[in-house]
Amino acid sequence: MGKLHGKIAVITGGSSGIGLATAKAFVDEGAYVFIAGRRQEELAKAAAEIGREVTTVRADVAELPDLDRLWDVVREKKGAVDVIVANAGFVEFALPADVTPEHFERTFNTNARGTFFTVQKGLPLLRDGGSIVLIGSSGHVLGVPIYTTYLATKAAIRSFTRSWAADLKDRKIRVNSLSPGPVDTPIFEAQAGSKQAADTLRAAMADRVPLGRLGRSEEIATTAVFLASDDSSFITGHDLLADGGQTAI
């Protein structure tokens, strides 16, 4: 029997990268998953890759009506949820002098506001004793050039984790954040704009990791399974850093 046998999970940003790997790992551990993402074509590919026990919902977490639709689908199909993984995120680097209001708003609306309302709107369906996993970044405890706005949103997620752990303790709902270091996902291409530039960025990021490499989405997914399951039953309010030692050494 899997660690998440019979559980129902919602994973935002679930059509690629860490979100998709987490959805696969959850299903392998016995869960039924709802994955949300902005692109229908990518969601269809993800569902085919997962293969079973999955429902897809096209939703942009920055849009509150989309979040309402996501939770309406969950309510209609399953009636309740045991695990929320708020993973959807947006990253675009910029020097402080180059940050525009549009860049700032898009970053905060997706990463901070989107995370907040994903959880707020899901709480009525989250069973007592459930688990919330917020995907942050190890960079929130570092000073990383050109990622000021992105990492500020991840610091907000760390704060949500502590506050919600206190808010929800009477319901025995555990809230933890999972903060990866640099992980090899398609987000590098999205940031860099070309394969060559993305590979250069990958190499630069890997140089900063004591283990000498980027993380793999599957490694973050197994950590998410730990936080979602009873294996972490005495852990709440915690920020688990999965960063190859980047913030410790």
Active site (catalytic) residues: 150
Query: What residues have CB less than 8 Å from 120, skipping those under 6 apart?
Result: none
Beta-strand runs (E) in 100-220? 126-135, 174-180
Q: Which two tokens stand for residue 139?
A: 């960079």
Residues in the chain: 249
Query: What residues have CB less than 8 Å from 181, skipping those under 6 apart?
Result: 138, 209, 215, 241, 242, 243, 244, 246, 247
Q: Which two tokens stand for residue 83?
A: 């695990």
Q: Which amino acid is at 27?
A: V
Q: Which amino acid is at 41?
A: E
Neighbours of 188 (CB within 10 A): 21
Query: What residues have CB less than 8 Å from 51, skipping those under 6 apart?
Result: 27
On whether the CB atoms of residues 144 and 160 are closer than 8 A, the answer is no
| CA dihedral for 166, 237, 169, 217, sign (positive or negative) | positive
Helix (H, G, I), strand (E, B) or coil at 3: coil
